Amino acid sequence: MAQPDGHTLFVSDMGVNVINPYLFPDIPYDPATDFRPITMISDTPLALVAYKDAPFDTTEEYVAYATANPGQISFGSAGIGSLNHIVPEWINYETGIDAVHIPYRGGAPAATAVASGEVDVGVLALSSISQFVDSGDIKILGVARTERVESHPDLPTLIEGGVPNVAAGQWAGLFAPAGVSDEIVARIEQDVVAFLSSDEAAEGFASRGAIVSPMASDEFAAMLDGLRDQFKVIIEAAEITPE
């Protein structure tokens, strides 16, 4: 472990900090105690999407159809234990529906599977599906966020569509080793947030389909704790294992 002096930092994501501890039995770290959150950097919104000919056009209609047809809806993901595997399982958990998981080798094949109708739905990065939305092969039912996406203000959230609690994106965050002082964290946070608040940062991340999302270190830490509690429940309820 690097010295907690503020000179060694790292950028990490949902998998390392939230999913992996509950998916793999013997990872050599505990993100809750070994890492010190400094700030979220960016977020890439996820959306619940469906094949163009699916018999539902909104989140509400999706849940109603899946409720009436248990086990008949399939969702594609980038692979077992990926974020876009766990979020649909979270939707299952919150609504009581039974959508069946079909794993693919990455997000692009999963998106293609939805666009071709090989699977009915998927939870995919909003930035990765524009070509399929433009072609009319995929329709967006809702976004997995607590608030609407500024660039797509007409898209309702899943929560607005009647699916409680489900909000998780492909974020990136800045961390330091545990033990770094509050003073050092505050100084780094101030400098990083100042840059993230600039037009340069916003434009740079937007060009990659991401949203700059600076967050105070204590707020970021609280968000991580909440996600860990939630994802532990979902992973256990869905019996997700890496094999």
Q: Which pLDDT tens digit goes with each residue over 206-227?
A: 999 999 999 999 999 999 999 9
The mean pLDDT value of the chain amounts to: 96
C-alpha span between 44 and 209 (Å, rounded): 6
Q: Which pLDDT tens digit goes with each residue over 161-176?
A: 999 999 999 999 999 9
Domains of the chain and CATH, by start: 10-44+169-236 (3.40.190.150), 46-143 (3.40.190.10)
